[in-house]
Amino acid sequence: MTTMQKLLQLPVNAVNIVKTVQSQVQGQEEDKSPVLSPDSGHQAWYSALQPDELRHLRSGGSSGGGGSGSGGDQEERPTLEDGGGGSFQTQLLRHDDLKEMLDSNKDSLKLEAMKRIVAMIARGKNASDLFPAVVKNVACKNIEVKKLVYVYLVRYAEEQQDLALLSISTFQRGLKDPNQLIRASALRVLSSIRVTIIVPIMMLAIKEAASDMSPYVRKTAAHAIPKLYSLDPEQKDQLIEVIEKLLADKTTLVAGSVVMAFEEVCPERIELIHKNYRKLCNLLIDVEEWGQVVIINMLTR
């Protein structure tokens, strides 16, 4: 049975009762409403109505209900705006708490702070204002903290280059860290600092990384080559020497990255590929997907 059919079956005096109480809606007012308590008590026809039918009765089918609804929306807006401001203030307070944790002498607090910061970055939140507090911990002896610090620095080094320069000596020490992830991350951060004054340092770091025992670090060196070339094209000859060395690498992890560097720095030096052509063809099947695309495009051009 539809709402209209139910309304048509109401007693005649019910409609008159309804029209007298259009402004009655919630709370205690409902207890006093003649609609809710006709003749000082609920009647059977009233008890059988559904919630949407009750709302229809209270509005009386007039536009007054719509007007009150829009007024309610207007009253809610300041609350929403207040909530947004509170959220912003909460975020600032949260950042202050994270800074205090990063300044702590306890590695457990630093680790917890870095986990939260990396999680913020993963959710797309801006954490650049924490850079000064984070970069101070790049020399932390706790390996887990150091890894997360480098994850942060790789993300924000290009945006905060002046502050990153202050820690350049720490990044250089990171290049000699026993952990291959730290060495690779240090090189990544170093190559993200777009300042010509450190070009010699970057070149030396890339050359050393190209001879690293870890293929992961050698791969990172290959990725750093185009960055240095775009910063200072005059380093092309030295970079070609590094590319030639990495092209002779027999690991699939390095192959795609060095071919990409070759294509960006010296695609005209096709003679560098001749002596490595068969090896690249043999490695192709085991190279990661994007590397396969790069190598195939280079071999078939």
Could you report the per-residue pLDDT of 169-201, keeping only the tens digit for each? 888 989 999 999 999 999 998 998 888 889 999
Does the structure show a pLDDT above 70 at 275?
yes
pTM score above 0.75: no
pLDDT in tens, 211-265: 999 999 999 999 999 999 999 999 999 999 999 999 999 999 999 999 999 999 9
Q: Which stretch, 10-19, 60-69, 113-122, has highest mean pLDDT?
A: 113-122
Say if CB 296 and CB 256 are below 8 A apart.
no
pLDDT range class, residue 80, cuts 50, 70, 90: very low
Please give the pLDDT value at position 82.
40
> 246: closest CA among 201, 291, 289, 290?
291
Selection from 159-163, 166-170, 228-232 with the highest mean pLDDT: 228-232
Distance of CA 249 to the CA centre of its chain: 34
Structure tokens of 168? 């350049």
Q: Which residue has the higher pLDDT, 26 or 208?
A: 208
Stronger pLDDT, 103 or 19, i.e. the higher one: 103
pLDDT band at 204 (very low <50, low <70, confident <90, very high): very high
Percentage of the residues of the chain whose pLDDT score is greater than 90: 36
Average pLDDT of span 151-163: 84
Question: Are 160 and 128 in contact, with CB atoms under 8 Å apart?
Answer: yes
Please indicate whether residue 6 or residue 119 has the higher confidence score (pLDDT): 119
Query: Is pLDDT above 80 for 88?
Result: no
Residue 214 C-alpha from the chain's centroid: 29
| Across 18-43, average pLDDT | 46
Mean of the per-residue pLDDT values for the chain?
Answer: 77
pLDDT at 27: 45
Three-state secondary structure call for residue 266: coil
Region 117-131: mean pLDDT is 90
Mean pLDDT, residues 101-123: 91
Band the pLDDT of 72: cuts 50, 70, 90.
Answer: very low
The residues near 216 (Cβ < 8 Å, ≥ 6 apart) are 180, 181, 184, 253
Model confidence at 110, pLDDT cuts 50, 70, 90, reads very high
| C-alpha span between 136 and 102 (Å, rounded) | 9
What angle, rounded to 10 degrees, do the helices at 199-210 and 215-231 form?
150
Which residue is associated with the tokens 């997907």?
289
